[in-house]
Chains A and B, each alone.
Chain A
Amino acid sequence: MLHLSDKTLECFLLGLFTSGGGMDEMDELTREFLIESQEGLDRMELGLTDLEQRPNDTALLADIFRSVHTIKGTTGFLGFRRLETLAHAGENLLGLLRDGKLAANGPIVTGLLQLLDGLRSILRTIEADDHEGNGSDTDLILKLEKLHDPATHVKAAATPRLKRSARARSGTAALADKPALAESCAQVPMTPAALPARVRNTPASSLVLAPAADLSPNLVKEAVVSRPRMAFNSAAESTLRVDVALLNRMMNLVGELVLTRNQVLKATAADPNLTMLSRRLDMVTADLREAVMKARMQPVSNVFSKVPRMVRDLSEMLNRRVRLLMEGQETELDKSLLEAIKDPLTHAVRNALDHGIEPPEVRVATGKDPEGTLKLSAMQQGSYVIIEVCDDGAGIAVDKVRDKAIERGLLTAERAAQQSERELLQILFVPGFSTAAAITNVSGRGVGMDVVRTNVEKIGGKVEIESNAGHGTTLRMRIPLTLAIVPALIVRSVGQSFALPQGALSELVHVSQDQAASTIEWIEDAPLYRLRGKLLPLVFLDRMLMPTATSPTRNGDTFIAILDAEGRRFGLVVDGLADPEEIVVKPLSATIKRIGLYSGATVLGSGDLALILDPGAIALKAGIAMEVEQEREVATSTDPMAFAGKDTKYLVVEVAGRQAAVPLNEVLRIEQLPVSRIEYSRSRPVLNFDGEIVPVEDVGGVLLSARDKPSRQIIVVVCRAGDRHVGIVVSHVLDVAAGGDLHEAGSAQLSEGVTVLKNRVTDIIDLGMVVAFQGCQCAANEPTQLVEKIQ
């Protein structure tokens, strides 16, 4: 460490001496200074808002002091006088705070925040124009000086003592430099009693400037000493700044490598000599991809850290008292997504303060703590990060929202009567609903809510709002972990493959050729499908993509992908389905983007290109109306199987005469195939899907009973179980139903639990257990054992 510091120091000095000669080094130095200063100021901003809560935290004060001090020290020899003067003024005030001569209070923190803004604006000017600009900071400096003032706080010899302590911190080298010390002290008024008067009377700039200018040789030394120490503090040695563009490029290349690997794996599959080699390539590629993805991840604290300041400023402006709680700041998110949630988050916080949390007197009147609570939390859930902005304010008056919606014709009165509060609140996201007139009537919530939704959905996320009138509101954003890789279902239409983002997909319906005519109904030329008794508008993808083609003659089965995009619900009719794939999204040129139906392109495992469909744009183009209500079949259905409020959905199947259920989100697809398609590997049944082997679990003994009839059709539900796929043979697929939470842990080994679906007690098939059984080397008669266990 010591050695390294010396070396850093040497390099630094070298840079210092040569900087006069070469303009380039100077620029490099300035750039580095700018980045470091920005980081320091970011830390300071966070520290200042904390300081208000903990005014006596000396460690915090020391940290804030250090940020300003470092800027002052470095500017001294870079020749940014204006910056130095301002930083110096701030340092004086902070010194008093740090030494306990002054206690931090509201006005002081405000002053320091203004100092921060002042420093930032000068840094920005330097970044843009390479010089500090000609503005004057006299007012601000005067203001900072005034904050020293409360006579009771200012001890006579404050300033000289501050100087000494500052020097002491910067190392013994500076302390030993006695002549310099004496000189600096000489510059400061020596008569203790005279100081407060001078602070008040002398034009501030001259008072501050004089010692600062004379001290510059020492300042250089301070800066030199402070640099390595700062490096030690921030672990700068083990980190590196990397251009985001470079990371994007790396991500791109890794995506390329993944594709090449896929092709190599396919080509070498038959050659046993290359198996080891290609497997290794496979592994290294996967690791590399993960590493690059990881490099792009940043903690959400990067965005959250802006909030304390915002809350402070807003609550002062709006006369609110707010306690801010933040949770899960270490949750990581892709850099570009982090950028994208900045605005929605700002909107949400602003709303929560402006329209959510009431003024203190109102809160007291309603029996609440005068101080409101705003809670920001982030947590990872699968491949999503959930960000919540939660306040304990007035909440949203749902009936007012309903009245307004009916008044504006967004909702009919009878439909509104059927809707739950949660559904009604979704109206807040409808663009146009959030216009000013509507807002003031509805306790204001909704300013720019459609913007929040648009921004979040643009990056593949979802927003929902929950409110408890009188008790607060929660805005929840579901953000995908990364933009670059998206789970998608590959569908086929017009002889091509297209990718459909899974985020918008709610379920799939298979329509066999002979059913097609009766299943799809028409009102004039509008195709409709009855989904559990409700009419759902359909969009034929082939007709949309090839409007000129003569009426397509459909051979074979069709599939309806039921999509939920930006509040629009419809069925997209496609010719075929392939496996879901994790696709790498590639941007499209403006020419193709202009078509408006595609959000990107991707390269499939086969090496083919596929366009990524934009469900929202398709719905718009097809004229599908915004459906305000969501999950209506759950809430309004009279079907007893629907448990309002519980939204775990299951695929209900029949296995050997009993009803069983598989969690719907684990189901990848349902295959109907002849028994002859089942092959046996080491006497275990497996299915071969385009070269991929899926183990098959014959829970109900369906396979055993059909062994001699190879043409008999069986149904296999392919599920995701952990990171593996497994097929479960069932007798019939009955329905999709929402079930309540598990009522009791089942004793059957294969069942994770039991639930009531369609008025029947239903076993939930525990996929983890199935895989566990697959993993062990069991005999061929194992399926019968399992049947015994399940029954």
Chain B
Amino acid sequence: MTSLTHASLPGTQKATASLIEICSVRVGETLFGVAISHIVEIVGSARPQPVPLAPAFVAGLMHYRGEVLTTVSLRELLGLPRLERPQDILVVESSGGCFGLLVDSVGEVLTVSCQDFEANPSTLNEYRKGLFAGAYKLKGSLLVMLDPERLDPLRLSPEIAA
């Protein structure tokens, strides 16, 4: 499972040896990362339009280049309290199409080596194991990898309690 997820991360082609570029994002206290190749666009300080009766993890709808995208709130997924200020949205691509990922803020792009990747620790609860794809060991901190496939609103069941 681990190696499979790992292999599916882009940037692991022979040409770039074992370096991949990751966009770092922050939600609460944790530093997360999304592979650059999954990101279509970064939309700064956005307020998605809320959708009454939608599952809690749906932050709302956003208008992106003529399409209406569903936005997933990472905060809600992690059970963190809602922020009242505008946040950043990553427009990401999964096999099911594009969707928005609402994060607190988008940080810099980091280049990391595959050798620093490790799978989810066994002590992590099952729910989070389902959300996270593993972690990269950075100098002095950890970068938790997010895989758009796992966060696609279609895959997230409406019942999950954040």
Q: Say whether A545 faces chain B, with CB atoms less than 8 Å apart.
A: yes
Q: Say whether B61 faces chain A, with CB atoms less than 8 Å apart.
A: yes
CA A595 to CA B56, docked complex, whole Å: 12
Q: Which of B50, B53, B68, B158 contacts A588 (CB 8 A)?
A: B68
Q: A589-B153, A597-B53 are in contact. Are A609 and B70 (CB under 8 A)?
A: no
Contact A592 B69 (CB under 8 A): no
CA A252 to CA B67, docked complex, whole Å: 8
Q: Say whether A393 faces chain B, with CB atoms less than 8 Å apart.
A: no
Contacts of B58 in A (CB 8 A): 591-592
Contact A592 B49 (CB under 8 A): no
Q: A252-B67, A255-B66, A586-B67 are in contact. Are A595 and B53 (CB under 8 A)?
A: yes
Q: Closest chain A residue to B58 by CB distance?
A: A591
Q: Say whether A100 faces chain B, with CB atoms less than 8 Å apart.
A: no
CA A611 to CA B51, docked complex, whole Å: 8
Contact A591 B154 (CB under 8 A): yes
Q: Say whether A578 faces chain B, with CB atoms less than 8 Å apart.
A: no
Contacts of A103 in B (CB 8 A): none
Categorize the interface residue count of chain A: 20 to 34
Q: Say whether B52 faces chain A, with CB atoms less than 8 Å apart.
A: yes
Contact B154 A608 (CB under 8 A): no
| Binary interface encoding of chain A residues 680-721 relative to chain B, with 1 for a CB under 8 A from any of its CBs, else 0 | 000000000000000000000000000000000000000000
Q: Closest chain A residue to B53 by CB distance?
A: A595
- Minimum Cβ distance to chain A for residue B56 (Å): 12
Contacts of A603 in B (CB 8 A): 63, 68
CA A256 to CA B68, docked complex, whole Å: 11
Contact A609 B52 (CB under 8 A): no
Q: Say whether A253 faces chain B, with CB atoms less than 8 Å apart.
A: yes
CA A255 to CA B68, docked complex, whole Å: 12
| Binary interface encoding of chain A residues 589-618 relative to chain B, with 1 for a CB under 8 A from any of its CBs, else 0 | 111101101101101000111110000000
Contacts of A601 in B (CB 8 A): 61, 68
Q: Say whether B134 faces chain A, with CB atoms less than 8 Å apart.
A: no
Q: Say whether A469 faces chain B, with CB atoms less than 8 Å apart.
A: no
Q: Closest chain A residue to B65 by CB distance?
A: A256
Contact A608 B49 (CB under 8 A): yes
Q: A587-B68, A601-B68, A609-B68 are in contact. Are A592 and B51 (CB under 8 A)?
A: yes
Q: Say whether A734 faces chain B, with CB atoms less than 8 Å apart.
A: no
Q: Say whether A383 faces chain B, with CB atoms less than 8 Å apart.
A: no
CA A589 to CA B158, docked complex, whole Å: 14
Q: A591-B58, A595-B53, A608-B49 are in contact. Are A252 and B66 (CB under 8 A)?
A: yes
Q: Say whether A785 faces chain B, with CB atoms less than 8 Å apart.
A: no
Contacts of A609 in B (CB 8 A): 49, 61-63, 68
Contact A592 B50 (CB under 8 A): no
Q: A587-B68, A588-B68, A609-B61 are in contact. Are A546 and B154 (CB under 8 A)?
A: no
Q: Which of B52, B65, B69, B153 contacts A545 (CB 8 A)?
A: B52
Q: Say whether B121 faces chain A, with CB atoms less than 8 Å apart.
A: no
Contacts of B69 in A (CB 8 A): 589
Q: Say whether A496 faces chain B, with CB atoms less than 8 Å apart.
A: yes
Q: Say whether A494 faces chain B, with CB atoms less than 8 Å apart.
A: yes
Q: Closest chain A residue to B52 by CB distance?
A: A545
Q: Closest chain B residue to A590 by CB distance?
A: B154
CA A595 to CA B51, docked complex, whole Å: 10
CA A236 to CA B21, docked complex, whole Å: 51
| Contact residues of A between 226 and 273, Cβ < 8 Å to B | 252-253, 255-256
Q: A601-B61, A609-B61 are in contact. Are A592 and B70 (CB under 8 A)?
A: yes
| Contact residues of B between 63 and 82, Cβ < 8 Å to A | 63, 65-70
Q: A589-B97, A590-B154, A591-B153 are in contact. Are A546 and B70 (CB under 8 A)?
A: no
Contacts of A611 in B (CB 8 A): 49, 51, 61
Contact B52 A592 (CB under 8 A): no
| Contact residues of A between 571 and 587, Cβ < 8 Å to B | 586-587
Q: Say whether B99 faces chain A, with CB atoms less than 8 Å apart.
A: yes
| Contact residues of A between 104 and 121, Cβ < 8 Å to B | none
Contacts of B153 in A (CB 8 A): 589-591
Interface centre among B63, B154, B156 (most CB of A within 10 A): B63
CA A238 to CA B70, docked complex, whole Å: 42
Q: Closest chain B residue to A601 by CB distance?
A: B68
| Contact residues of B between 132 and 162, Cβ < 8 Å to A | 153-154, 156, 158
Q: Say whether B54 faces chain A, with CB atoms less than 8 Å apart.
A: yes
- Minimum Cβ distance to chain A for residue B97 (Å): 7
Q: A591-B58, A609-B63 are in contact. Are A545 and B68 (CB under 8 A)?
A: no
Q: Closest chain B residue to A585 by CB distance?
A: B68
Q: A252-B67, A588-B68, A591-B70 are in contact. Are A545 and B154 (CB under 8 A)?
A: no
Interface centre among B52, B54, B62, B68 (most CB of A within 10 A): B52
- Minimum Cβ distance to chain A for residue B28 (Å): 24
CA A591 to CA B154, docked complex, whole Å: 6
CA A588 to CA B51, docked complex, whole Å: 11
Contacts of B63 in A (CB 8 A): 603, 607, 609
CA A608 to CA B49, docked complex, whole Å: 8
CA A601 to CA B48, docked complex, whole Å: 13
CA A610 to CA B69, docked complex, whole Å: 13
- Minimum Cβ distance to chain B for residue A591 (Å): 4
Q: A494-B52, A546-B52, A595-B53 are in contact. Are A586 and B68 (CB under 8 A)?
A: yes
CA A603 to CA B158, docked complex, whole Å: 26
CA A588 to CA B70, docked complex, whole Å: 8
CA A255 to CA B49, docked complex, whole Å: 19
| Contact residues of B between 36 and 66, Cβ < 8 Å to A | 49-55, 58, 61-63, 65-66
CA A591 to CA B49, docked complex, whole Å: 15
Contacts of B68 in A (CB 8 A): 586-589, 600-601, 603, 609
Q: Closest chain A residue to B57 by CB distance?
A: A591
Contact A545 B50 (CB under 8 A): no
Q: Closest chain B residue to A252 by CB distance?
A: B66
Contacts of B99 in A (CB 8 A): 589
Contacts of B49 in A (CB 8 A): 496, 608-611
Additional A-B contact list (5), CB under 8 Å, known A586-B67, A592-B61: A252-B66, A255-B66, A591-B58, A592-B58, A598-B51
The 3 closest A-B pairs by CB, nearest first: A545-B52, A609-B49, A591-B153
Which chain A residues have a beta carbon within 8 Å of chain B's beta carbons?
252-253, 255-256, 494, 496, 545-546, 586-592, 594-595, 597-598, 600-601, 603, 607-611
Ordered by A's residue number, 26 sampled pairs between the chains whose C-beta atoms are within 8 Å are A252-B66, A255-B66, A256-B65, A496-B52, A545-B52, A586-B66, A586-B67, A587-B68, A589-B68, A589-B97, A589-B153, A591-B55, A591-B153, A591-B154, A591-B158, A592-B54, A592-B58, A595-B53, A597-B53, A598-B51, A600-B68, A603-B63, A609-B49, A611-B49, A611-B51, A611-B61
Which chain B residues have a beta carbon within 8 Å of chain A's beta carbons?
49-55, 58, 61-63, 65-70, 97, 99, 153-154, 156, 158
